[in-house]
Each structure stands twice: as structure tokens, then as C-alpha cells.
Amino acid sequence: MMPKIGQPIRKREPLATTRQPWEEFLDDAAWLRSHRGNLWRIWDGLTLTIFRRGAGFRWSMASFEGPTFSCRTYFTEIDAMIDLGHELGVGSDDGC
């Protein structure tokens, strides 16, 4: 069924609803430093790691099936962390 004229096709989540998962994901207290200096945390049963590669940073997520690594190198740890959050669908109700 199509929406009435002037109504959005899809309801958008309120900003506060989508921001909360990002605040939890980026929470400084949840990210720890390994003895090698890498940031890591557990999120939704996955071990997430931000690590230095050359002059930048990359991310990995590991599960029982094995690790997945970012293809790109990021300038900062936070850039890598944000891209990892997008890859995981943080703040999105459809995982995209």
C-alpha cells in the first residue's frame, strides 16, 4: 500500500534512537588497549580491533568463523572505528 501524498514512504527513526547505539559503540570506557597498543572490544559477540597498519589504521572483526579485515587504511583510529560501526550496521535497523 502506497502512503498518502506528502507522507514519507518509510518512517525515519528519531535521531535519539539512532544516536544511542553509536554512543554505546564509540564509548571510550568500552574500548581497551592491548599490550601491543591496539584498541579492542567485544560487540555483539564479535571481537573488534583497531590496529596500526603502515602510516594509518585498519579494523578487524573476529568470530568463531574467523576474522574479517578492512580493505582500506584510515588516517585515524576514530575513522577506522566509525567505518567498522557502519560495516556492523550500528544505528541502523536494517543492518545497512
Instruction: Output the pLDDT for position 74.
Output: 97
* Per-residue model confidence as pLDDT tens digits over 8-66: 555 555 444 445 688 899 998 999 999 999 999 999 899 999 999 999 999 999 999 99
Q: Contacts for 70-79 with beta carbons within 8 Å, 24 or more apart?
A: 77/39, 77/50, 78/26
72 has a pLDDT exceeding 70: yes
CB 61 within 8 A of CB 68: yes
Instruction: Output the pLDDT for position 6.
Output: 57
Give me the mean pLDDT over the 2-8 stretch: 55
